Amino acid sequence: MFKIGLVKLGNIATSTVIDLALDEIAERSDIEFKIISFGPKMTRKEGEASEELKAWAPELVVVCSPNAATPGPTAAREKFKGLPTIVISDGPAKKEARDALAAEGFGYIILPMDPLIGAKREFLDPAEMALFNSDALKVLAACGAIRLVQEELDGAMIGIAAGDVKLPAILATPEKCAERMHFSNPYARAKAVGALYMAQAVAGIDAAACFRLKELEAIALTAAAGHEVMRAAARMADEAREMEKAGDSVSRHPHARTGELMNKTGLLDKPEKI
């Protein structure tokens, strides 16, 4: 039984399904999960408290958070040095910072298309927060980012179980994500890539609202603009999937009970092991 531990500090949309994507119908017999979550908090205090996961003796640790270069996620990683650990985050995107992660022995999957929310009380309330995350998750799921994460974690677990530790080092791009979904219709694939680029753009818009603007009107309008772009991206992602459904060509990769990935395309096809 493979033991995978997850530390969730703060929230990106991927955080909400990262564990579920590894056992989508809760029938895998080869894997156990333990999750340490601190809700929206991600200070050094929470990062250091994540050390309690070590008592469970996980074989792989996944630290999922916004901006992995901030103090909380950095503190969490320090607690798991020597254990296979993969960082999943929306940043850092700069090569030097990613090289530093790899030099310290950590794997990483950076998802710039899992964007910063418009986290200002001049705009954001609980309903808006949930709506934004649902739109972001639709883009990530329909356009391949969630599958990229899931496949890379599955691959890492297989390697670790075989004594061959190979951790991913990926800065995801819209093209890399869409490739994982095996779109048969090139227009659907183009829509998926477009939706992911729109999601990436949201981060820049919301960063201005969160960190640079000072006046209420500018903050509220800019954050609202970012969320409107996210909503439009979700509609485009939905269009891409509907095009694949219309051609009965949706790529599905369910897990077998024993953990292997299976494949089917037609809705009425039987899943077969890859």
Q: Give pLDDT < 50 ranges for the chain.
A: none
Give me the pLDDT at residue 94, please: 87
pTM for the model stands at 0.96
Give me the pLDDT at residue 93, please: 80
Q: Give bridge partners of residue 2 from the DSSP assignment.
A: 31
**Cβ of 56: how many Cβ atoms within 10 Å?**
12
Return the ∠ at Cα 144 (arms to 240 and 31), rounded to 5°. 140
Per residue, the 3-state secondary structure of 163-195, as one string, reads CCCCCCEEECCHHHHHHCCCCCCHHHHHHHHHH
Per residue, the 3-state secondary structure of 99-142, as one string, reads HHHHHCCCEEEECCCCCCCCCCCCCCCHHHHHHHHHHHHHHHHH
Give me the pLDDT at residue 246, please: 98
Give me the pLDDT at residue 233, please: 98
Letter for the amino acid at 141?
A
Give me the pLDDT at residue 6, please: 98
The continuous run of DSSP H or E covering 63 comes out as: strand 60-64
86 contacts 29 by C-beta, under 8 angstroms: no
Letter for the amino acid at 237?
A
d(CA 98, CA 254): 31
Structure tokens of 246?
């219309």
175 contacts 193 by C-beta, under 8 angstroms: yes
Domain architecture of the chain: domains with CATH: 1-110+144-179 (3.40.50.10830), 119-143+181-250 (no CATH)
Give me the pLDDT at residue 168, please: 98
d(CA 217, CA 232): 22
